Structure 1
Amino acid sequence: MSTVLNYRSNMIVELMRMPAEEHDELWLKNALQQAVLLELATLPPYLCGLWSIEDPDRDGDVSETIKEIIFDEMSHMGLVCNMLTTIGGVPRIADAALVPKYPGPLPGGVRPELTVSLTGLTREAVDMYSQIERPDHPVVEAEEVHTSIGAFYTQILEAFRNQPQLIKGTKQVIRNMSSHGTGNDVVALTSLEDVEAAITIIKEQGEGTAASPDNPFPGQPGELAHFFSFREIFHGKKLILVSSDPQRFDFQGDEIPMPRTSRMGTVPSGGWEQGGVPVSSEVRGALDTFNQHYSSMLRFLEQTWQADQASTPTPAQLLSKAVGEMRKLEDPARQLMQMPLPDGSGMTFGPEFRYVEAVG
């Protein structure tokens, strides 16, 4: 198995093919690094969809649903980073070789048939989001899925259960995010029970359970797991229980209208200019501003899990700096979504999420 870190690798598939008796400390560190990249990879497409929603629908149900899912994914990433540092690993995030590349597959070979792209919110985009989150055995729309994110986390949990002595509780970062859901706090992982609870949250917020589409750790009562929330938006109908014996769910509830959105085009490989799209100085300025804040956010995130509690700045301060940089992304993103592409299609530019080195 190659240990060279690269976003477009087949490492998760390689890791999952290894027999369980070889899931040692190195296996677990490699697996958790890939899990960090997986959690990071979901954020840019979801954010593009969210930011493309226009007034007066920015405060509507669809917008709020996507927003809560994004907060879940951010807390998942924090928990996975804590899993890696609790066994002595160091998360790698701020590296051009590791930052998600769009359009393209998820990292590590998960769902290789799926192409993830950056575009505005459409039914096709929501279908893509739901395929990212698809469980192995959903309670509706069941199909066989190979190398799902949930199956990968199951193997990670088993490796922890077989080697609980690896959990040392080192460099744990804490952040209160309970306003977004009962399971959304980033907590210290100092025992096997802590790790089991964290992986349960990550899996069930995304996939639900074998018996229910509900999110067991909701931000609001009745909130569904990510996969089912996205399928509701895709179908334009609420998912409801239509039969109790046998138990059966279907999309036959109240209508969910698609919100009004800007018509963000699909970002080409390498970014707009690299993909051959003529870019004005105004567009380039907004792209540069966005990419610089995005890259700065990633650097602060990486530093957060490298710092000690006695460091200056502290891990908590570094994480706050990362959150501050993330908040600076929305304005240039929405500006780009008001700038038409030069091909006359009526579509607009949008953020590229490209990693750039620090200026100066």
Structure 2
Amino acid sequence: MSTVLNYRSNMIVELMRMPAEEHDEAWLKDALQQAVLLELATLPPYLCGLWSIEDPDRDGEVSETIREIIFDEMSHMGLVCNMLTTIGGTPRLADAALVPKYPGALPGGVRPELCVSLTGLSKEALDMYSQIERPDDPVVEDAEVHTSIGAFYTQILEAFRKQPQLIKGTKQITRNMSSHGKGNDVVALTSLADVEAAITIIKEQGEGTAASPDNPFPGQPGELAHFYSFREIFHGKKLIQVSSDPQRFDFQGADIPMPRTSRMGTVPSGGWEQGGVPVSSEVRVPLDSFNQHYSSMLRFLEKAWQADQSSTPTPAQLLNKAVGEMLQLEDPARQLMQFPLPGSSGRTFGPEFRYVEAVE
């Protein structure tokens, strides 16, 4: 398998087509790097939806649901980075060729029929979010799908099970995130059991189980897996069990009102200006600020999993710096959503999530 990495590759599909007996150490490193990119790719669309929610709904049920899903995805990304470093690999994030590109498909050829874009929260955006998380066999709204994220993680787990000796416990970063759910801590992966537990959390927080839409690792009691949470908001109704024999679920529960939102437009390929949208000097300030903080966050994340415990700064300190940069993203993003796009569409600007080199 080629080690040349590009976000627009079809590598996940190619990796999954390889015979199981070829799922060796090199295969596993390639697969885990793709999984890192996959986890990163989910965050910008969800964040745009969250940040587009306006007062007084910013602290409402829908905001809280999306916020918790985002924290889940962040911990998933940390766990996958630990999976890669525990077998001697190095996560790569800070590279314009690897940073997610929108609008477009998910990395590696997962769900090629799905176009993922950056836009404000809407019914269309919620449908996109839920299609990202869709299980192979959901308990509601079953449909034929292409390669799922869960199926990819299943192959990764099988490769670990065949080669547990690859797990060395090297360059592991830990972070307490238990306030967001009992499965959300980023933990050291030093054994096969650790890896099995981590992949179970990643799969079941996103997809639920074959028998239930519940999130087995919730932040709050009764929390659903990501796919079902997004479908609830999409339908505007709670998902409830409507039959026990046979067991059947449907969106027939209490109403879930859509929150008030900024009408963020869809970011064109390459960003607003690259897509032919004039950008004023007033808009450019928060736009550049956002891209710089986002890119700096990725650089700190990459350095965190490259550093040793004896390094200065330490991996934990570098991760803290990445979190600090992440916390700088919301204000410029919300500022951008106050600027109307040129023309009479009624839509606004929003963050591009574009990688830029460090400012000297």
Question: TM-score, length-normalised on structure 2?
Answer: 1.00
- Written as runs of structure 1 = structure 2, the 5 A alignment for 1:189-338 is 189-338=189-338
User: Quick check: 1:162 aligned with 2:144?
Assistant: no
Distance of 2:86 and 2:295 partners within structure 1? 25
Distance 2:105 2:43 in 1: 14
Match of 2:351 in 1: 351
Distance 1:343 1:265 in 2: 12
Percent of aligned pairs sharing the same letter: 90
How many Å apart are 1:145 and its aligned residue?
1.7
Name the residue aligned to 1:136: 136
* Matches of 1:289 and 1:22, distance apart in 2: 45
Structure 1: 4+ residue segments shifted above 4 A? none
- Matches of 2:149 and 2:324, distance apart in 1: 29
Query: Could you tell me which amino acid in structure 2 is paired with residue 28 of structure 1?
Result: L
Cα distance between partner residues in 2 of 1:325 and 1:21 = 42
Deviations 1:46-88 (A, max 9, x none): 0000000000000000000000000000000000000000000
Tell me how far apart the structure 2 counterparts of residues 145 and 342 of structure 1 sit (CA, whole Å).
38
SS at match of 2:248: strand
> Unpaired runs of 5+ in structure 1?
none
Structure 2 residue 9 is matched with structure 1 residue 9: yes
Per-residue deviation, 1:3: 2.5
SS in 2 for 1:350: coil
Which 5+ residue runs of structure 2 have no aligned equivalent? none
Q: Secondary structure, in 3 states, of the residue corresponding to 1:243?
A: strand
What do the CA deviations read for 1:208-264 (whole angstroms, capped 9, x no partner)? 000000000000000000000000000000000000000000000000000000000
* Matched AA of 2:207: E
CA distance in 1, matches of 2:167, 2:336: 45
Q: Counterpart of 1:35 in structure 2: which amino acid?
A: A
Q: Does the CA contact (< 8 Å) of 1:53 and 1:121 recur in 2? A: yes
Q: Would you say the 8 A contact 1:182–1:219 is kept in 2?
A: yes
**Count of residues paired in the alignment:** 360
Counterparts of 1:187 and 1:283 in 2: how far apart (Å)?
40
Does the aligned pair in 2 maintain the 1:120–1:261 contact within 8 Å?
yes
Deviation of residue 294 (structure 1)? 0.2
Report the Cα offset of residue 343 of structure 1: 1.2
2:180 maps to amino acid: H
Q: Aligned partner of 1:183: which letter?
A: G
Q: Normalized against structure 1, the TM-score is what?
A: 1.00
CA displacement at 1:282 relative to structure 2 = 0.8
SS of match in other structure, 1:305: helix
The aligned residue for residue 53 of structure 2 is: 53
State the partner residue of 1:31.
31
**Deviation at residue 2 of structure 1 after TM alignment:** 3.1
Contact 1:2 1:11 in 2 (8 A): no
SS of residue in 1 equivalent to 2:334: helix
Separation in 1, partners of 2:290, 2:143: 38
**1:4, CA displacement in angstroms?**
1.1
**C-alpha root-mean-square deviation of aligned residues, in Å?**
0.5
CA distance in 2, matches of 1:158, 1:169: 18
Deviation at 1:285, TM superposition (A): 1.2
